[in-house]
Amino acid sequence: MDLTFTKMEGLGNDFVMIDDRKKTVSSVISYDKLARTLCDRRFGIGGDGLIVVLESSTCDIRFRVFNSDGSEAQMCGNGMRCLARYVYEKGMLDKTEITVETLAGVIVPRLNLDDEGRIVSVTVDMGQPVLDAEKIPFIPSSKGGSVHTIDTSSGPVSFTAVSMGNPHAVIFVDDISVAPLLETGPVVEIHPAFPQKTNVEFIQVLSDSEIKMRVWERGAGVTLACGTGACAAVVASVLNGKTGRTVTVHLDGGDLSITWDKESGHIFKTGPARTVFQGMIQIG
């Protein structure tokens, strides 16, 4: 069958977007296989992940996201911004604030428009971070404290574990330019302490309101940005007394503004989302 798609990106974290509300695609090919096929940068379209738009019985729309290796993620912050712009510009929904059903619960993105009605950014209410080890899920070697240490083939690694609907291990470093992303990232991702694997963030604190971040994403490897990872990084920074609650996160693909609201406990993430190109590809 011929599949119509849209390629989008948020800070260089890129996705292939498809509309399968009528379930015509899933009747031909499984989403995990489709993700591996479409995300291949040599033989497919290329992308960090596949985002599928589906009907929801509880929200305005349903969101499923598959990493480039075919594994399904519970949530994706950059992908959520792309989804909000995609459904609005495709005329699926005519609201600038929507509710989205995800495996991580209900997420609420809001399109920010200028005076001429053009989308300038997207703010996403990411909900409350999860710090309970069992719910992350994470198996700590000892109880208490926000910093944990595990032994790996690269040596001991200390981090703060956070879930933003998906697991994260946040590692603080003095110099992000020499952070062992390729060495430590993959071994922490698959460490037995994380039963569902984990995303791994390396953080350099610049000031009370700025941090630099690089990321090894679960199921995708090194990416230019990770929205949920940026949220987790700010949570870890606050918990460890390194920053305030409103932080600009500098990623390889650009900047995100993250606020951890003290009153509600919710994380609010603001950043760009952009359509790269649209097309048609034969599948099945």
DSSP state of 98: -
In the chain, the amino acid numbered 270 is T
Domain of 174, in residue numbers: 133-265
Q: What is the pLDDT of residues 176-190, one digit of tens each?
A: 999 999 999 999 999
Q: Is the pLDDT of residue 164 over 90?
A: yes
Buried b (16+ CB within 10 A) or exposed e, 231-246: bbbbbbbbbbebbebe
| pLDDT (mean) for 146-157 | 92
51 CA to centre of own chain? 12
Residues 79 and 165 in one domain: no
| Local structure of 83: helix, strand or coil | helix
Higher model confidence: residue 142 or residue 218?
218
Residues 26 and 113 both lie in one domain: yes
Give the catalytic positions in this structure.
76, 226
Q: Tell me, yes or no, whether 242 and 164 share the same domain.
A: yes
Asked whether residue 32 falls in the same domain as residue 94, the answer is yes
What band does 153 get if pLDDT is binned at 50, 70 and 90?
Answer: confident
pLDDT, tens digit (0-9, with 9 covering 90-100), for 42-78: 999 999 999 999 999 999 999 999 999 999 999 999 9
177: DSSP letter: G
63 and 158: one domain? no
Reported as a single tens digit per residue, the pLDDT across 109-123 is 999 999 999 999 999
Which pair of structure tokens corresponds to residue 146? 């926000």
Q: Under a CB-based contact definition with an 8 Å cutoff, are residues 170 and 160 in contact?
A: yes
Q: Find the range with the poorest average confidence among 141-145, 252-256, 258-262.
A: 141-145
pLDDT band at 266 (very low <50, low <70, confident <90, very high): very high
CB-based contacts of 164, cutoff 8 Å, min separation 6: 75, 77, 104, 126, 127, 129, 130, 228, 229, 231, 232, 235, 267
Q: Are 64 and 76 in contact (CB under 8 A)?
A: no
Distance CA 266, CA 105 (A): 13
Residues 64, 177 share a domain: no
- Segment 92-112 shows an average pLDDT of 97
Residues 143, 121 share a domain: no
pLDDT digits (tens, 9 = 90+) for 187-240: 999 999 999 999 999 999 999 999 999 999 999 999 999 999 999 999 999 999
145 band by pLDDT with thresholds 50, 70 and 90:
confident
- Phi, then psi, of 227 in degrees rounded to 5: -65, -45
- Looking at residue 71, the DSSP 8-state letter turns out to be P
Co-location of 210 and 155 in the same domain: yes
Give dist(CA 23, CA 248) in Å, integer: 39
For 241-259, the DSSP string reads: TSS-SEEEEEETTEEEEEE
CA distance 267 to 72: 23
pLDDT grade for 284, boundaries at 50, 70 and 90: confident
One domain, residues 157 and 256: yes
CATH of the domain at 240: 3.10.310.10
